[in-house]
Chains A and B, each alone.
Chain A
């Protein structure tokens, strides 16, 4: 079956870069996603990358995908206190005519002022 792994915690100083890592197992994944969950709130799609891409940049966010190693990372440049949240990596999975996302357990990012 499919599985997505992330480290649970990350702490960085304001202004530094944050790098959140994720590994997945399903080599047939078509899209990989990063979702952000702020305290007490729902999940917000931050960015996604198609599986045939190596990198995607969107303002302060950079997503790197190493398909050979099944490794995905999210880099947040100039991390701000408002970036404190839980970040979920997710892979899309298609099988038996259905489609679903499998999420990692989330990485809690704490930004120290």
Chain B
């Protein structure tokens, strides 16, 4: 009965690889988000989708591509991984764009 789930929880990979992180919410929310939390614990929004449409796209390298196959899913695909991509990535969802956000448990990505 997890509200916002992410897979995998941990991801260790080599530089240059392509990887995906999946996010699913079973709350019936319309809006989903991806945040990056760096080593200093600073959280920064990357993307936001509302009803499968991109509404926020912060200054993120175009190696990062979000994909929303339906309202309940927002996956993050990362091409040509770099050392600086190592971080914890959090998915979140909210009923509408102005409502409080519920976060997933995070995915710790380590790029070697």
Contacts and interface: CB of A to CB of B under 8 A. Distances in A.
Given A42-B103, A45-B100, 18 more contacts: A41-B105, A41-B106, A42-B90, A43-B103, A48-B100, A86-B41, A94-B98, A98-B55, A98-B56, A98-B97, A99-B55, A100-B45, A101-B101, A103-B42, A105-B41, A105-B42, A106-B41, A106-B42
Contacts of B100: 31, 33, 45, 48
Contact of A99 (B40, B41, B44, B98): B98
Interface of B: 4, 33, 40-45, 48, 55-56, 90, 92, 97-98, 100-106
A48 B101 CA distance: 11
The 4 A-B residue pairs whose C-beta atoms are closest, nearest first, are A43-B103, A99-B97, A103-B43, A42-B105
B103 to A, nearest CB: 4
B90 A43 contact: yes
Contacts, number: 53
Q: Is the interface of A mostly helix, strand, loop or mixed?
A: strand
A86 B56 CA distance: 26
Interface of A: 30-31, 33, 35, 37, 41-45, 48, 86, 88, 92, 94, 97-103, 105-106
Given A42-B106, A98-B55, A92 B40 contact: no
A20 to B, nearest CB: 14
Nearest to B92: A43
Contacts of A45: 100-102
Contacts of A98: 48, 55-56, 97
